[in-house]
Amino acid sequence: MSVALGITRPPLVRSVPVHHAEDLIARLPQAPPYAWVHQGEGLVAWGEAARVSVPPGAGRFDWARRWLAEVFGEAHIDDDVHVPGSGPVAFGSFTFDPDAAGSVLVVPRVVLGRRNGRAWLTTVGEPPIDLVAPAVPPGRVVYGDGSLSAPGWQHAVARAVKDIRAGRLEKVVLARDLLATAEREIDPRVLLERLARAYPDCYTFSCAGLVGATPELLVRHTGESIESLVLAGTTYRGATPAGDRAQAAALFASAKDRHEHACAVASVRDALTPLCASLSVPEEPELLVLPNVQHLASRVRGRLADGASVLDVVAAMHPTAAVGGTPTPVALEVIRELEGMDRAGYAGPVGWIDARGDGEWGIALRCAYVEGRRARLFAGCGIMGGSDPEAELAEAQAKFRVMRYALEG
């Protein structure tokens, strides 16, 4: 009997090649969607063959790995595709704070995948019959303050700067939330379609009500190879190409942003070194240009030493300095003291894992929790000793534009 999968016999998981799957998001039915799409490729899914709330605590990733081993181990797998993401797959979202409840893993009943031009369909048992109904935009959207008003959040930033200058820590990432109420019920498919179209270089995701498009790849695990894209240090897009170049030059010349980026890269390097037989860390960052902002970016690559799964890597890396701070334990204390809210899955790991241990996980940025007509949006900024509260508020507002566009179109 398969207790985890809620059925009385081991399920058959079948992956078969398919055609005409160019637009993954357009194939989603009117059901809670699961998605991980980048430049038109990735996975979308629906239905639930198994779902579990992961207990909070320091061992939550180990618990999740054991649960998945049980679930995947119970299945009869017929995989004619044999690529990362074929066969049984679980989507997951983990809370930023390890002691907070709300982490979840879901094994969908139907997964549609596309990778390197190949497409496939995976079903678990008898798939549900779901019709693809048109997605209706949410209509007019009204916004209100979240846990802190704009002046209140600026005050929190000023307090953080004071702590940094006093030597308590080097960096802390402070986030704020914004509440949105729409005219009609919010269909996540509308948000996913808009995000994937406008931000194809980001990773558009949906899992358990958390929807967004993150620029930050925490880890891609393929066989023994891993890759992480570290982002820290942000500026705006210029109004003209010349303005863009000037903004980029100022970002590269900024001692504050370069130090912030160096802290983030160091935290990733320190987390991955014990797991890897080899690790390549670039000496200088590159520039990642998105429609709304520009980031300093470093692509870290490595080869695992002992065949760890992607969740082992996620456990070692989270939280990075890019979303927590330096040193991390002190930064988490400051976040709890100053933010005045539960981040839930914001800035936590979100992504997917297959039965081979391969997968892709990002940091849940540029995102919102969606429920009915309401959405809770999040944005965060890296605070350093030279940070200006007014400038940090403007940066947070720029980052909110991603999800405001998804809601408003």
Catalytic residue among 48, 74, 193, 216: 216
Task: Evaluate whether 110 touches 121 at the Cβ level (below 8 Å).
Answer: yes
Instruction: Identify whether 274 is preceded by a cis peptide bond (ω within 30 of 0).
Output: no
197 Cβ contact partners less than 8 Å away, ≥ 6 residues apart: none
Q: Which two tokens stand for residue 343?
A: 């981040």
The dihedrals phi and psi of 276, each to the nearest 5 degrees, come to -110, 140
Q: Which two tokens stand for residue 282?
A: 């670039």
Catalytic residue among 48, 74, 171, 392: 171
Task: Evaluate whether 82 touches 23 at the Cβ level (below 8 Å).
Answer: no
Q: Which two tokens stand for residue 390?
A: 């007014």
The dihedrals phi and psi of 332, each to the nearest 5 degrees, come to -65, -35
Distance separating alpha carbons of residues 230 and 272, to the nearest angstrom: 13
- The residue among 195, 257, 266 whose CA lies nearest residue 228 is 266
Q: Is 171 a catalytic residue?
A: yes
Q: Is 216 a catalytic residue?
A: yes
Distance separating alpha carbons of residues 362 and 344, to the nearest angstrom: 15
273, HSE (Cβ side, Cα atoms, 13 Å) = 7
Residues with a known catalytic role: 171, 216
